[in-house]
């Protein structure tokens, strides 16, 4: 197997793909003399520290074990998470031989949809019927039917299931609440009172007013939780935003009248420095460092899948830190929370140029075996766990480095298969497992419905990206929040958005909804 660990860059895409195609490997002889098939896989790096730190991902011990167990030689090419769509677009536009398996997020994204229409990817129905019995048995029909996986009854991708359908949940420093004698907030006003206390009460006890009550990232990512109180979540990580079927139309929530009330809240949070004033420019690594290394942040929003890891990592900056999850702020209707997301985390397609489609499907089918489940969940026997009296005794991670290492097999390499959270024995024995269970409970009990879930991005939004969530809306939201425009200017934005093509986006989205959902 040819080994490389290059990150795909804009200037080397074509050359690497040519190398990938010409050196995909005819396979290597195994110990018993049989030829072991080889496939090339291009996938998202996921911004995981263990993966980023690897000097050669293809020589990693977990990659080698995956090859051994699956009886398939693999060559991984990694696309940086921060530029995934851009680099994927370059790959598909290069008109060169693609790898045997390519992560695409979904077949209906702005990048993948044209490739589907142009026949770049294989139809997989027959291949799955013939070589993927475990895939057919274990992946729910509603997942196969998702617009991210199928089109017109034809399957074009294999899904990666998400650990949870809740993308956002509130994390808060319980030790700060306790030090200041505060109750867990429930309403928007109660949340604001807590954030004011975090700002003024010196909960980190250093004599400085350096606490950051609430922190978010660029374009309000990881900071949308107050929008949920008014059911106007713009859509964390969703290009077209979230949508609501109202008055016989499917409209983006970021143009609803209730958005003005939410913007008032964010404007107050910004003015009072209750929200980190770097929220519109802050990159993920800087946000992360403030929460963990500096331990200056009192509240943030993240996935409900990792409360145990946050509990460990925040102690890097403050050994006395105690992190818990709480219900999101509720609004006038008594509800709140982030948007309820897709059961899909990602998707993998087989390019039509591949000559290894049967091998790829058999490889993916293996992920739904007991052997694969054990490896993905626990890692390597006698390294990460032992088997005693027929039972697995796992060395659960207790440090940030150990957690990052475990993420390699439980997250990064899980191209498909059952998420580790579905393994009851593993979850029962996991340290701080009660934190995960509590986070899951909170997430399941809240959340706002996105009536446009898994909808293809309306075509006019692809040709006019200013109509998407991070276009005109984010521009005007930022101006209103930082005080450059009045709250009422939002009404002008809505009319402008509609006139510049928004009405056409609504027409297209409404047609999709009526065809698919009703």
Model pLDDT for residues 22-67, shown as the tens digit of each residue: 334 455 555 456 799 999 999 999 989 999 999 999 999 999 999 9
Cα–Cα distance measured from residue 21 to residue 42, given in angstroms and rounded to the nearest whole number: 12
Measured in whole angstroms, the distance separating CA 29 from the mean position of its chain's CA atoms is 38
pLDDT at 25: 43
Residue 4 has pLDDT above 70, yes or no: no
Structural contact between residues 157 and 357, judged by C-beta atoms closer than 8 angstroms: no
| Residue 18: pLDDT band with limits 50, 70, 90 | very low
pTM: 0.73
Max CA pair span of the chain: 74
Say which residue the tokens 């206390």 belong to.
197
Q: Which of 28-32, 48-52, 183-187, 241-245 has the highest mean pLDDT?
A: 183-187
Closest CA to 13 of 71, 117, 96, 135: 96
Tokens 């006890």, residue?
205
What are 160's strand-pairing partners? 346
3-state secondary structure at position 245: strand
Q: Which residue has the higher pLDDT, 457 or 513?
A: 513
Beta pairing class for 169-173 and 297-302: antiparallel
Where would I find the beta strands (DSSP E) of 350-403? 385-388, 391-394
Give the residue carrying structure tokens 């350096």: 210
Beta bridge partners of 326: 170
Q: Is the pLDDT of residue 476 over 90?
A: yes
- Residues 74-102 have a mean pLDDT of 91
Helix (H) or strand (E) holding 278: none
Mean pLDDT on 423-436:
83
Question: Inter-axis angle of helices 13-22 and 84-93, to 10 degrees?
Answer: 60
Taking a C-beta distance cutoff of 8 angstroms, is the pair 5, 55 a contact? yes
Distance, in Å, from the CA atom of 117 to the CA atom of 120, rounded to the nearest integer, reads 8
Report yes or no: 24 and 40 within 8 Å, Cβ to Cβ.
yes
What pLDDT score was predicted for residue 430? 82
- Comparison of pLDDT for 348 and 425, the residue scoring more: 348
- Both structure tokens of 321: 């830190």
């Amino acid at each position: 197997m040819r080994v490389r660990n290059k990150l795909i860059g804009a200037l080397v895409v074509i050359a690497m793909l040519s190398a990938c195609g010409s050196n995909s490997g005819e396979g290597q002889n195994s110990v018993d003399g049989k030829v072991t098939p080889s496939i090339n896989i291009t996938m998202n790096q996921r911004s995981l520290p263990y993966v980023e730190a690897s000097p050669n991902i293809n020589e990693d011990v977990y990659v080698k074990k995956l090859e051994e167990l699956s009886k398939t030689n693999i060559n991984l090419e990694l696309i940086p998470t921060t530029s995934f769509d851009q680099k994927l677009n370059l790959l598909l536009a290069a008109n060169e031989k693609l790898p045997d398996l390519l992560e695409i997020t979904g077949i209906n994204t702005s990048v993948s949809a044209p490739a589907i229409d142009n026949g770049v990817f294989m139809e997989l129905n027959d291949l799955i019927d013939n070589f993927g019995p475990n895939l057919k048995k274990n992946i729910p029909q509603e997942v196969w039917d998702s617009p991210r996986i199928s089109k017109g009854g034809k399957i074009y991708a294999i899904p990666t299931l998400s650990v949870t359908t809740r993308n956002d949940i509130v994390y808060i420093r319980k030790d700060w609440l306790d030090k200041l004698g505060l109750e867990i907030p429930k309403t928007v006003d109660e949340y604001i009172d807590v954030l004011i206390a975090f700002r003024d009460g010196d909960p980190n006890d250093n004599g400085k007013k350096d606490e950051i009550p609430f922190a978010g990232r660029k374009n309000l990512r990881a900071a949308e939780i107050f929008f949920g109180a008014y059911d106007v979540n713009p859509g964390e990580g969703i290009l077209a935003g979230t949508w609501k079927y109202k008055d016989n139309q499917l409209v983006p929530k970021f143009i609803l009248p209730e958005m003005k009330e939410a913007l008032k809240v964010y404007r107050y949070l910004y003015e009072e420095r209750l929200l980190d004033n770097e929220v519109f420019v802050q990159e993920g690594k800087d946000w992360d460092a403030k929460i963990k290394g500096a331990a200056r942040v009192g509240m943030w929003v993240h996935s409900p899948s990792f409360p145990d890891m946050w509990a460990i990592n925040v102690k890097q900056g403050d050994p006395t830190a105690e992190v818990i999850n709480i219900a999101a702020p509720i609004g006038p209707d008594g509800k709140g929370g982030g948007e309820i997301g897709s059961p899909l985390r990602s998707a993998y397609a087989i390019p039509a140029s591949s000559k290894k489609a049967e091998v790829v499907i058999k490889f993916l089918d293996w992920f739904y075996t007991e052997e694969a489940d054990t490896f993905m969940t626990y890692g390597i026997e006698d390294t990460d766990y032992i088997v005693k009296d027929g039972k697995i005794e796992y060395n659960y991670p207790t440090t940030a480095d150990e957690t990052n290492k475990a993420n390699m097999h439980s997250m990064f390499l899980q191209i498909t298969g059952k998420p580790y959270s579905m393994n009851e024995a593993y979850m029962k024995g996991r340290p701080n497992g009660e934190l995960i269970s509590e986070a899951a409970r909170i997430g399941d009990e809240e959340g706002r419905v996105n009536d446009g879930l898994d909808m293809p991005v309306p075509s006019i939004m692809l040709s006019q990206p200013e109509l998407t969530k991070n276009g005109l809306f984010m521009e005007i939201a930022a101006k209103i929040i930082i005080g450059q425009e009045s709250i009422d200017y939002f009404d002008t934005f809505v009319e402008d958005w509609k006139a510049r093509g928004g009405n056409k986006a609504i027409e297209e989205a409404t047609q999709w909804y009526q065809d698919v959902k009703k």
